[in-house]
Chain A
Amino acid sequence: MFVNQFLFLAAVLFSIGVYGVLARRNAVLVLMSIELILNAVNINLVAFGTQLNDVSGQVFALFIIAIAAAEVGVGLALVIMLYRNRRSIDIDEIDLMKG
């Protein structure tokens, strides 16, 4: 197996995630797209860790999983608070700080 196979898969997933962040308007769906991006990074880390036979890749991927879980928790709490205050989670309508 080529290392490139995994890196290309990760690049495709990353680009799909970026498309999702830009094209979606619903805050929960944007968070889902961010998960895609984080997972793409994890594939890269584990692939390089396996290629170099170094366990650090896996350890970093584990830290990323933990941080992603924390991010989803806080992100969804923010989304729920937003829904409570504005009855909508459309991120186009959140323009309070727009100059």
Chain B
Amino acid sequence: MFAADLLIAQNIAFYVMAAIIIGAAIRVVTVKNMVHAALWLVVVLAGIAGQFILLASEFIAITQVLVYIGAVIILFLFGIMLTRAPMGETEEFDNSPRMRISAVAIGGFLLVVLGYSVWDGVRDQQFDTITVQQTTDVADSIIGPYVVPLLMVAVLLTAALIGAVVLARRD
């Protein structure tokens, strides 16, 4: 249960973080230095973890930090280093300007369609009372009704990791 003044603070936090996320996301897709792109991605992922905390979903926020910022970014940095990406700024990461203009058109069209359908479908629904979703509830749900998908994810992860080792090893 949040009082109205707390909601104002939440709104401010939301808009500040949203601005940071969108700015950093634009940098990820436009910056000319690959390592910088990976580091801007860290900013995006951390901001999204903050949004999860605003949505009172603590476990997913911590998982976001551990898995994405902790593991996925390291994988990306290793990928950048192992493929000997040109360090410093180059133009060779981007497609030709004509391709980029059509990419902007497609992205903008998608944004308009998604934005309109979101606005039309949800209108001005509010979060009435935000109750914290405890980690114990998540655990009960994963081990309870979602145990079969959990086991499938375990099998998938094993298969993916064995596949990655087989693909990447030198023989």
B94 touches A1 (CB 8 A): no
**Which B residues are in CB contact (< 8 Å) with A59?**
138, 141-142, 146
- Given A1-B11, A23-B99, do A65 and B114 touch, yes or no (CB 8 Å)? no
Interface residues of B in 20-53 (CB under 8 A from A): 21-22, 25-26, 28-29, 34, 37-38, 41, 44-45, 48, 51-52
Nearest Cβ on chain B to A47's Cβ, whole angstroms: 6
Interface residues on B, range: 35 or more
Contact A1 B141 (CB under 8 A): no
- CB within 8 Å for A77 and B83 given contacts A3-B126, A22-B106: no
Q: Which residues of B76-93 are within 8 A (CB) of A? A: 76, 78-80, 82-85, 92-93
Tell me, in angstroms, the Cα distance from A22 to B104 when the chains sit together: 9
Give the A interface residue count (CB, 8 A). Answer: 69
CB distance from A4 to the nearest CB of B (A): 5
B16 interface residue per 8 A CB criterion: no
Q: Could you give, for residues 44-86 of chain A, a 1 whenever the CB lies within 8 Å of some chain B CB and a 0 otherwise?
A: 0011011101011111011101111111111011111101100
Q: Which of A12, A43, A49, A67 lies in contact with B133, CB distance below 8 A?
A: A49
- Inter-chain CA distance A2–B46, complex, in Å, is 22
Q: Main secondary structure on chain A at its contact with chain B? A: helix
Which chain B residue lies CB-closest to A25? B95
**Interchain nearest-CB distance for B161 vs A (Å):** 6
B92 touches A25 (CB 8 A): yes
Contact A18 B164 (CB under 8 A): no
Residues on the B chain within 8 Å of A63, using CB: 149-150, 153
Chain A contacts for B14, CB-based, 8 A:
1, 5-6
User: Closest CB of chain B to A57's CB: distance in Å?
Assistant: 8
User: Measuring CB to CB, which residues of chain A are less than 8 angstroms from any residue of chain B?
Assistant: 1-9, 11-20, 22-26, 28-29, 31-33, 35-36, 39, 42-43, 46-47, 49-51, 53, 55-59, 61-63, 65-74, 76-81, 83-84, 89-90, 92
